Amino acid sequence: MPKQNPNSEALPLTEQQNPASLSLDQLDLTQAVELMHQQDYQVLEAVNQAKPAITATIQRLVNSLNHGGRLFYTGAGTSGRLGVLDASECPPTFRTPPELIQGVIAGGTRALYQAVEGAEDHPEAAVEDLKERQLNRNDMVIGIAASGSTPYVRESLRYAHSLGCQTALLACTPVSQDDPAIDEYMILPVGPEIVTGSTRLKAGTATKMVLNMITTLAMVQMGKVYGNLMVDLNISNAKLVKRAQRMLQQLTGITDPEACTHLLRAAQGEVKTAVLMQRAQLDYTQATDLLQANGGQLRRALAQTTELNP
């Protein structure tokens, strides 16, 4: 029976040995699957503990976006790739411009496909990468680092703070929370990985869950969702055309698919605008002006038309 490294507990959680998996290579496949499954339950509890910090981070992000700012995720390896993934999903889901939410990974684009050894150990590169993107005081930077100490990530937060940006750190191990460059600490103590140090596992899963929360709920606050419908989606393929038609049928009462298609064309493919045009009997310009006057909030714009035309 393998023994746990006696110095393991002195290491960050992300580097400690997991006592439950010391005999992982000796388990049969059924046992190994069950072990991984049971370990993943720790992810939910870790995210649960971080809810107040996640909420505060989203509030800061919405404030930044409302003042013309952008969101930058910074990270290395798996953490960086998850940031890029989350950022890349926002334009099709919420019709955001690609520059609004960006993932910045140590080592650049090549690091998305293969490891760029040592990239995370060059803090000066983080400053260069953010300068290249013209980071400014209205923006927010969220650093993602399973260990909480990645030099590239920590330097990105220090540089952002020096410009007056909102900042947050997402880590999967407890870290000292006394860095004046960090406004919010989202700590996700998922525990040691089933394969020691492989943070693409529980740490990666927890990180993905939190990034989903951050952008999704920020976009809800920004009026990109009505009820639970993505009424600001970018209609870029046949599947999304059908989704847009279903939303229009539900929100306007139109039953004829051809009529939905005609309305969407008149609204230049914008579902929120189409809904407002039909329900308030407005033309495209009037509908977009009303949405803009109401901060892009369809519910608020519809309420205003009701007040004007009781």
Amino acid at 136: N
**Catalytic choice (9, 15, 45, 89):** 89
Backbone φ and ψ of 143, nearest 5°: -90, 135
**Catalytic choice (120, 184, 193, 270):** 120
Let me know if 120 is a catalytic residue: yes
Residue 34 · residue 204 · CB < 8 Å: no
Let me know if 9 is a catalytic residue: no
Q: Which residues are catalytic, by number?
A: 89, 120
